[in-house]
Amino acid sequence: MVFTFAAAVLTTPSSAEPVLSHEAMTERLQACISCHGKEGRTINQEYLPRIAGKPAGYLFNQLMNFRDGRRKNNAVMTHLLQPLSDAYLREIAAYFSELEIPYPSPDVAKASTETLKLGESLVLRGDPARKLPACAACHGSPLTGVAPAIPGLLGLPTAYLSAQLGAWRAGQRHAQSPDCMGEMAKALSPQDVGAVTAWLSSQPVPSNSKPTASIAALGAPLPLRCGGVPQ
């Protein structure tokens, strides 16, 4: 995809500006919308994630990770965000987190029954023998994320999920230290990655797609410490 900076630029606010209205923020964030789609729906879900409705803390952390060089897999994002302050990144994150729009239908599962069963087991129960916690232990049993900073795992296609786990395994994607997802991704085999992403992408998003209200609502502490996630 060709991206023209002159045609879509994030307007940098001055420190004296008040918090903007929804309409004003929509106008200001044309650079985001040109790739992530109107209302953050995405224009290419295999490569560009939907950002509408994700927890504000998660979106803010990812914006910081791109700006500060922890995520190296998208030079466009890094270039756009480098001049922006933490305060402005929080405004962007809050704007997209408040958008509530329908999710697309899930992928049709193409993996074998055995692969899907492995994926379901790893996502919901983990693998105690390998000390692998379940995805649901952090992302919530509905897999819709946990406020304020843990994203949902449903509503994303296989290709995008695989690319992100691959980026962590290859050292192209990092989070604030301690990088729990980097640790988890490196512990997964290629077979595990294929199984987890195939099962997740084939699951429908529940009618209540909002993230779980808090980590306390999970009923147990997170199995790993994660940078950028209040615990």
pLDDT digits (tens, 9 = 90+) for 55-67: 999 999 999 999 9
pLDDT the model gives residue 193:
98
Closest CA to 152 of 165, 169, 140, 166: 140
CA dist., res. 110 & res. 70, Å (int): 33
Q: Hey, what are 165's tokens? A: 């786990």
Residue at which a domain ends, from 36, 69, 97:
97
Does any domain span residue 226?
no
pLDDT the model gives residue 46:
77
Shared domain check, 121 and 200? yes
Under DSSP, the state recorded for 142 is T
Q: Specify the number of domains making up the chain.
A: 2
pLDDT the model gives residue 49:
87
Tell me the residue range of the domain where 79 lies: 22-97
What CATH number did the domain enclosing 166 receive? 1.10.760.10
Whole-model pTM above 0.75?
Answer: yes
Residue at which a domain ends, from 71, 97, 123:
97
pLDDT of 3 higher than 60? no
pLDDT in tens, 33-59: 888 887 788 777 778 888 999 999 999
pLDDT in tens, 144-196: 999 999 999 999 999 999 999 999 999 889 999 999 999 999 999 999 999 99
| Percent of the chain surpassing pLDDT 70 | 90
pLDDT of 8 higher than 50? no
198-213 mean pLDDT: 95
pLDDT of 2 higher than 50? no
Q: Which string of DSSP letters, residue by residue, matches 52-96?
A: TTS-HHHHHHHHHHHHTTSB-S-HHHHHHHTT--HHHHHHHHHHH
